[in-house]
Structure 1
Amino acid sequence: MIPYIHVPPIKLGPFTLEPFGIFVALGIILAARMLARQAEREGLDSTPLQDYAPWGVGVGVVVGHLFHLFAYHPEELSKSPFQILKVWDGLSSFGGLIGGILAAVVFFRMRKLRFRDYADAFALAVTPGWAIARLGCFAVHDHPGVRTDFFLAVNFPGGPRHDLGLYDAAFLFAISGLLLVLRNAGKLRGKLLPLLALLYAFGRFFFDSLRSTDLSYVDARYLGLTPAQFGCFGLVAFGLWGLVKWQAPPSKDTPAVGPGDRVQAQVR
């Protein structure tokens, strides 16, 4: 059994750094850097991804907060009319995912780029970044599950429970490893993002079935399901469609240059 350890916020003069925010920031930084590197490895221009990153994060945070308020905890809207503006006070990872997707759709259309060419880079970069961010959930234990004697249970005050932040992070790290193995083996090229959607949907649906219902602050249920579980149906649909319909993008070779210059051909 894992002991319940409360990670206190870090005081830096007038500023307070919350453990959750630190892990989220680390996850975003890692994802942004890996996104550019993965794109370059595929012979793609990484500049659009660097330009997209702040838009993806910004829209993701806003939509994640709105999703938290209106889907998970609508009762919080009664606190203050300004609660909707406090984007730092309550975030839904699934809402953040939706926001990032919306930002990507608009951004890539405006740039007249085909998102599918960058899809593998997104899968390989976002997954480990998301896993690190979920460690922030584990650090603050804000996703308690039902009571259990499972060996990975956390000894919460009042008794051991599943800690879904830990499970989600571990599952995402495992998916990250699988995607990396497939990329290095040249398997499912151009289809890693649909595979990620499919795998995560099944894992997240199961984990959300373990969420607590006996505490004072629990997630809203609709027809017995959490908002994320409904979202998992969309991920499954996208994953199956992408695995069947998406084709591997053409290999990108470095264009030829003038005589005397070195040309490096990328071999796929």
Structure 2
Amino acid sequence: MLSYVNRVAFELFGLSIYWYAIIIVSGIILAIFLSSRESERVGMRRDDVSDFMLLGLPLSFVGARLYYILFDLQPYLHDPIQIFNIRSGGLAIYGGLIAGFLWLVYFCYRHVIPLWTFLDIAAPSVMIAQSIGRWGNFMNHEAYGEKTTLAFLQSIHLPNFIIENMFIDGAYRQPTFLYESLWTFIGFFVLIFLRRKTGLLKQGEVAISYIIWYSFGRMFVEGMRTDSLYLYGDIRISQLLSFILFVSGIVVFVWRRKKNPQLKPYIRNLGPNEWII
């Protein structure tokens, strides 16, 4: 007998608190913690991260919601009140990243903080938050892929609780939430490894590496999903955007190095007993 996870974690004063919200918030808290630690190592104030997030976080949620709605508009035209119903999902990562980036540009200008420096400290933290956040999709039974077989899911050695919860709408499904979660989890450690190698990356290249890594994986995962947002016909908006970001990231990486061979390296000051993360 299949055992499905309950989307509701607990009740608080009659209000259902969903695992989706708990997991997303947990990822954000970890991201803020890691970014704040790194900010001190590169000469920024620890409060710079929390000051940015004060408005950056709600703006990112608004951006993620607007992105999702704009490319799936019809259901919300028929029932506009659902625009505000985010407890069941409906947040697009790219929308949140775009909104957050626009606010960051203004924030860095306003507080005289080097934009590339802020992006570099934030990139790995965003990556691990995305990895954690995908498990919110799992709890909501969303962000899954095409039909597959029980034998395939067992062949890739998935735990039973994942396999059982990939039986959706009468068929087993590709766990695309897991593929992206693992990709970003690995990417987090790749970025941390590259960042701690003194002189290997120049300023801005941690952030650019994040763009290249994430967009490359998202291109393939998006092509497997059944809930993609479409731009026109069979063109998946997030897959197209991932391709553009992947190519752009490589071009910008190479162009910056050729244009300015004297780019300053990414430098962090670690104490003798400090964590590398």
- Please report the TM-score for the alignment, with normalisation by the length of structure 2: 0.80
In structure 2, the gaps of 5 or more residues are: 157-162, 258-262, 273-277
Structure showing the higher helix proportion among its residues: 2
CA distance in 1, matches of 2:117, 2:144: 38
Cα deviation 1:145-177 (Å, max 9, x = unaligned):
111233356333412111221111111101011
Q: Which residues of 2 match residues 1-268 of structure 1 at below 5 A?
A: 5-9=4-8, 10-71=10-71, 73-86=72-85, 90-149=90-149, 150-151=152-153, 152=156, 154-186=166-198, 187-190=200-203, 191-212=205-226, 219-220=229-230, 222-244=232-254, 245=256, 247-249=263-265, 251=267
Residue 225 of structure 1 and its aligned partner are, at CA, apart by 2.3
Residue 46 of structure 1 and its aligned partner are, at CA, apart by 2.5
Cα deviation 1:37-72 (Å, max 9, x = unaligned):
11112232232222001222111110111111111x
Cα deviation 1:181-209 (Å, max 9, x = unaligned):
11222332431111111111111010111
Q: CA 1:126/1:248 → structure 2, altered by over 3 Å: closer, same or farther? A: farther
In structure 1, the gaps of 5 or more residues are: 254-263
CA distance in 2, matches of 1:118, 1:161: 39
CA distance in 2, matches of 1:88, 1:156: 20
Q: Which amino acid aligns with 2:139?
A: A
Q: What residue is the counterpart of 1:259 in the other structure?
A: none
CA distance in 1, matches of 2:34, 2:49: 10
Q: Secondary structure at the match of 1:11?
A: strand
Q: CA 1:141/1:134 → structure 2, altered by over 3 Å: closer, same or farther? A: same
Moved over 4 A (4+): 85-89, 249-253
Q: Which amino acid aligns with 1:197?
A: I
What is the aligned residue count? 248
Decide whether the 8 Å contact of 2:229 with 2:238 is kept in 1. Answer: no
Q: Aligned Cα RMSD in Å?
A: 2.5
Decide whether the 8 Å contact of 1:137 with 1:166 is kept in 2. Answer: no
